[in-house]
Structure 1
């Protein structure tokens, strides 16, 4: 299992000014991008180690003409805007990032976009013995993207082979730990199985993290997609983002619609998909979603949500800035982009952001020490209107997770020790508690 951290490179840290390009050179330069680069990430590896991160998931690193990087023009080259104008040096910087991350016990995976590419894609980058094909959009979601992207014909044998070779290239030539497959909803199941087999031949323990969701779907639709695409154990993916649980967290905690029991039931339902070689990945933000603090509107609810996230069995993925409750840009009304804001580091933190970082780090430390939080079974103890208590348990560890959302103090049946506050508790205020 991993505790991951997603970085959208252009928004994270500008570590080398010489690779900054004029905004006019981009087809699309997002409002809050800060010319972040791989060098900036290298400079902040100790920060990520301090937080307790053991896997970095990088947004697209390939050549593109936007700040988000999903319009890939060449799969075998790294964008000069996040590295260096020299192809050789750019790849050396990427290799250095991986090497330095590994020295700190941090794995690195990259975002791999195999469903679509830029309309300005460089077809000369395709191996000469392959003839790739494109096709029209296949879904309403893709129809919304067709102004920017072309779509690969994944029924075509040469096109499939080309895209699989892309994955093989990065695994063979770098000490990379795996991939997040963007918009895997648009990839055929048999292609996903073939991709997985070929990657595991190169790296047996490769991470293949799938993104399968409909942005206008509901939790039931997204859960059914999880079941459909998962396959048997790690047949296609080693993990998938659980959008069904995210949908429920957003509604119950973020928007305060629905019951805590409804949230618990979804968590338990999703947990049934976890197996020995496959674990779901839970999250409360990503680069296509609003910042959670902007949804819930108060720091106490954010703390409850972060505490719940760290108590879920499986993998956890933090979005950059989750650890300080980074706010989005409310002047951007496209929900896909409102959360894409510049990262803030310690020298610029408010007192509240310092407090939130320490709170998050404490939760991470507890998750690493107590196996019941990351891998325990679930048992419902009590559910009331503003109260949820469930037990997380392994052979060696047991914790009661209590969420209380009421305004009046709630008294427990006896005194417990709360791991989060490191204090004995009897009367509880609104919040989340890890009780022993």
Structure 2
């Protein structure tokens, strides 16, 4: 047995509360090295005849990546505390693994074991339950619909009359969004994520001038209130984008520092290296990247903190928003986010707090900061599988198994899964305009765990390269829309909405292919029901064999019924089997 590969820690993604009474405990071992694992556990204060009372419970192999196997079990301590270890069996060895190392027999001293001192109810991860049942739609307001031309900025171009650029405007606004809310309802959307709507200089609005005002090209506060009310009346949640890492160049406090230098009362709102402030290729102040027009805010400064926390609360109190998406969240100090969560959750207890983080995010997901992060590892792997075609189906499953086990299950259920955004080329373009590959990406997105998001226009087959090419005006003429793509996505959303196993109910089991590029899949299941999603990520017909023959098993997408020991899928085909 490879002892160096065996790993557990009594926290984070290896031991965590699923609810007020139940823990999920995980263990990592070398791939295909251990045949059987049992959890050894007991209450540290229950002894009989001077012997600690220890129980055994079998653990389930919950997934494998290219290097490791992962095991898991649920346990409900009667007195909300636990000491535990693991019994590992391989062909050659049986070992006991505890906090203090490996032993041939189980130690009798409870101090040798991993410890959960107490299950505190206020430490249970408490992301809003509604998020697990949400299908999001990202709207870049400037490019979705122009409903009130009286608000158009100077030199606004006729809708869709030219290619998107970093500095052109087409007049998208709140009125246009309100006019098309029923389109989103028909699609099956029940959550909208808006990129920034606050007063800013650019068309993308990530360079805020005033965090307490709506950009006049979108409308006014009353129009936003009406938009949110119209959304809520249709069962649609609303999430706004907060850019707290940096302000815009024309943010009045930054202008004051530019003008007054060291004499400015706002100099500590930012991170100047010297005075006077100068921009250019390497500004002498911290910024988002080296972008001189986006100076970094000092969120440790009490005045800045108070200002931004007021902003965070104001749009909840006055407009009843349902979520904050936090831009460049990893570059802001953890203490700020802890206070942010306390403040905004004191106003709305089921507010969704979503961080933009591209790397391992466990440090932000311990229940004291964010509810979820944007799941870019999912984005990367699904694009590598079907857009770039640089990994096999086996590698996709192994990679996603690793990502899944990097987080607690109840955290992964509210991660924000996306395949395109205002920052990336359109997914159809990334798939070289191959509609079948693009459809298959949406099949996986809309049947996988997490909360999925569509980027506006992707559902009708819009194309475009990297920013600004991905920010084209929404095409509202049906003659310009790929209705087949739209109907595919509509059907998948409908299935996800009506069959909760296609969302976040139950457990997930990853199904490896029988060859690297064979059919792969995943099974979502409870004690009495299973849904199996099978995917052929190649352009040639392939078959998947089951260990037990199928008996009139229905594909709930196509309506086809399968009987026998295997399922055959055409190139880029899929099946959603209801057991």
Range class of TM-score, shorter chain: 0.7 to 0.9
Structure 2 residue aligned with 1:82 = 218
How many Å separate the matches in 2 of 1:182 and 1:75?
14
Contact conserved, 1:172 with 1:202, CA < 8 A, in 2? yes
Match 1:41 to one of 167, 177, 183: 177
What is aligned with 1:3? Answer: 135
Are the structure 2 counterparts of residues 7 and 407 from structure 1 closer, same or farther at C-alpha, using a change threshold of 3 Å? Answer: closer
Aligned to 2:473: 342
Q: Residue 541 of structure 2 is aligned with which of 402, 405, 409? A: 409
Q: CA 1:252–1:33 in 2, change beyond 3 Å: closer, same or farther? A: farther
Aligned pairs for 1:279-294 (under 5 A) are 279-294=414-429
1:175 equivalent to 2:320? Answer: yes
Q: Distance in 2 between matches of 1:192 and 1:274?
A: 20
Q: Which runs of 5+ in 2 are unaligned?
A: 1-131, 158-163, 257-264, 273-282
* Counterpart position of 1:19: 151
What pairs with 1:128-167 in structure 2 (closer than 5 Å)? Answer: 133-136=269-272, 142-146=288-292, 148-167=293-312
Q: Relative to structure 1, is the Cα distance of residues 141 and 406 closer, same or farther in structure 2, using a 3 angstrom cutoff?
A: farther
Under a length normalisation based on structure 1, what TM-score does the superposition of the two structures give? 0.86
Q: Which residue of 1 aligns with 2:349?
A: 204
Report the 3-state secondary structure (helix = DSSP H, G, I; strand = E; otherwise coil) of the residue aligned with 1:380.
strand
Q: In structure 2, what is the equivalent of residue 432 of structure 1?
A: 574
Structure number with the higher helix fraction is 1
SS class of match (2:462): coil
Q: What's the CA shift string for 1:352-405, capped at 9, x where partnerless?
A: x11111100000011111111111422233412232132111345411111113
1:32–1:48 Cα change, 3 Å: farther
* Residues 308 and 432 in structure 1, CA contact (< 8 A), matched pair in contact too: no
TM-score, normalised relative to structure 2: 0.66
Distance 1:143 1:167 in 2: 24
Q: Secondary structure at the match of 2:459?
A: helix
Do structure 1's residue 256 and structure 2's residue 393 form an aligned pair?
A: no
In structure 2, how many angstroms separate the alpha carbons of the residues matched to 1:20 and 1:348? Answer: 26
Deviation at 1:346, TM superposition (A): 5.0
Q: Counterpart in 2 of 1:219?
A: none
1:337 to 1:29, Cα distance in 2 relative to 1, 3 A: closer
3-state SS in 2 of match to 1:209: strand
- TM-superposed CA distance for 1:103, in Å, is 0.4
* Deviation at residue 271 of structure 1 after TM alignment: 2.7
Residue equivalent to 2:461: 325
1:22-421 maps to which residues of 2 (within 5 A)? 22-23=154-155, 30=166, 33-83=169-219, 90-123=220-253, 133-136=269-272, 142-146=288-292, 148-213=293-358, 222=359, 224=360, 226-230=361-365, 232=366, 234-272=367-405, 273-276=407-410, 279-297=414-432, 298-328=434-464, 330=465, 335-350=466-481, 353-375=482-504, 376-383=506-513, 384=515, 385-395=517-527, 397-411=529-543, 413=545, 416-421=553-558
Equivalent residue of 2:540, what SS? coil
